[in-house]
Amino acid sequence: MLEPLKILALIGSPRNEESYTCKIIRQIDGKMNAIRPTEVEYVFLQKVGVPFCDGCLTCVSIGESVCPEFATIGPIAAKMDAADGLILGAPVHTFNVTGLMKNFVEYFMYKRNRPSFFGKKAIVTTTASGGGHKIVLDFLEGTATAWGCDVVTRLGISSAQMQKEAYIEKVDACTDEVARTFIDEIEKGELGSPKFRHLMNFRAMQNMTRSQKGSVNYRYWEERNWLDAEYYTDVPVNPFARFMAGRISRKMRKSMRKGNATPIR
Ligand SMILES: Cc1cc2nc3c(=O)[nH]c(=O)nc-3n(C[C@H](O)[C@H](O)[C@H](O)COP(=O)(O)O)c2cc1C
């Protein structure tokens, strides 16, 4: 008998169980269970009920355990850590991710500085009545990737179409594929190869961390030999992408030293 896969689903819709976000993830959950035993734990961010992140940044500068909301955030972080896979789901609100999901991930800013979820697979989902899917999927994928996860697939649905038989069938085919891919990738357990933007994110974090000698982040990076590395993991990287990321990173460092970065207009 196979051990059940442990999946943690973070639901960023204020409509909780009634939301399409939740219903789509339940559909994926059912299909995963048809393939192999899978336990999906649902965390409804509205019920988690943390206040707005107060921006103290002590999670980054001192450690996550000093966050004023650590009593709530800490146990969820531990569940994320223990899970075989993560699902991040949030609808589109005003052509962006919901405030609920955005606020929640602000509590995990430290994990962008000190990522640890390497090898953990993730999927991201969104729902909108009309448009804005790409912005939200990109944000959720970027967030999970910055934590160290490999985002193996993504799905955006249009809730306004969910009464139409033809569309429901298409969504059904998509959730089949998402469930299969998620399980396959977890079972394979291979580290994903970084894309160019991931290499650049790594280099940006590396340059920032190098300039923070003595900090918690610096020690974390030093212990893992990341301060002079080309990426977080030893996974093979496209040589051209590696070369370009190294080159741009050197330029970035030079301009940081001289303080001549250009203001963004
Ligand atoms: C405050 C608010 C803003 C919204 N903004 C958008 C939007 O920008 N684009 C869109 O297509 N739908 C928008 N919607 C509609 C929701 O995305 C849509 O109803 C979605 O399916 C809700 O997902 P849920 O059922 O998971 O909560 C908005 C809804 C709310 C409540």
Band of residue 199 on the pLDDT scale cut at 50, 70, 90: very high
Angstrom distance (rounded) from CA 199 to CA 75? 30
Mean pLDDT estimate for the chain? 96
Cα–ligand 1 centroid distance for 100 (angstroms): 13
Band of residue 95 on the pLDDT scale cut at 50, 70, 90: very high
Cα–ligand 1 centroid distance for 91 (angstroms): 6
Cα–ligand 1 centroid distance for 23 (angstroms): 15
Angstrom distance (rounded) from CA 126 to CA 92? 7
pLDDT at 262: 82
Instruction: Report whether 90 contacts 97 (CB < 8 A).
Output: yes
Cα–ligand 1 centroid distance for 211 (angstroms): 41
Provide CB contacts within 8 A for 123, sequence distance 6+: 28, 85, 86, 87, 88, 151, 152, 153, 154, 155, 178, 181, 182
Average pLDDT over residues 240-261: 89
pLDDT at 259: 84
Ligand 1 touching residue 129 (CB < 6 A)? yes
Ligand 1 atom closest to the Cα of residue 19 is 25
What is the CB-side half-sphere exposure of residue 132 using CA atoms within 13 A? 16
Ligand 1 touching residue 156 (CB < 6 A)? no
| 227, β-bridge pairs | none
- 160: which DSSP letter? G
Instruction: Give the closest residue (by CA) to ligand 1 atom 31.
Output: 93
Instruction: Report whether 118 contacts 90 (CB < 8 A).
Output: no
pLDDT at 128: 98
**Tens digits of per-residue pLDDT, 31-72?**
999 999 999 999 999 999 999 999 999 999 999 999 999 999
Cα–ligand 1 centroid distance for 129 (angstroms): 6
Instruction: Report whether 123 contacts 154 (CB < 8 A).
Output: yes
Task: Say which range, 87-91, 111-115, 175-179, 194-198, has the weakest mean pLDDT.
Answer: 194-198
Instruction: Give the closest residue (by CA) to ligand 1 atom 16.
Output: 128
Ligand 1 touching residue 126 (CB < 6 A)? no
Instruction: Report whether 218 contacts 114 (CB < 8 A).
Output: no
Ligand 1 touching residue 128 (CB < 6 A)? yes
- % of the chain exceeding 70 in pLDDT: 100
Average pLDDT over residues 131-137: 97
Ligand 1 touching residue 95 (CB < 6 A)? yes
Average pLDDT over residues 148-161: 97
Angstrom distance (rounded) from CA 186 to CA 120? 8
pLDDT at 182: 98
Residue 64: count other Cβ atoms within 10 Å of its Cβ: 19
| 87, β-bridge pairs | 9, 123
Which domains are delineated in the chain?
Answer: 5-188 (3.40.50.360), 196-258 (no CATH)
Residue 261 pLDDT exceeds 90: no
- Three-class SS state of 49: coil
Residue 256 pLDDT exceeds 90: no
Backbone angles phi, psi at 136, to 5 degrees: -70, -45
How many residues are listed for the chain in this entry? 265
Angstrom distance (rounded) from CA 31 to CA 34? 5
Cα–ligand 1 centroid distance for 160 (angstroms): 10
Provide CB contacts within 8 A for 240, sequence distance 6+: none
Mutation choice for ligand 1 from 93, 161, 171, CB with most ligand atoms inside 8 A: 93
Band of residue 258 on the pLDDT scale cut at 50, 70, 90: confident
Ligand 1 touching residue 125 (CB < 6 A)? no
Q: Helix 20-35 crosses helix 165-188 at what angle (to 10 degrees)?
A: 50
Average pLDDT over residues 226-252: 93
pLDDT at 173: 98
| pTM score | 0.96
Angstrom distance (rounded) from CA 12 to CA 104? 9
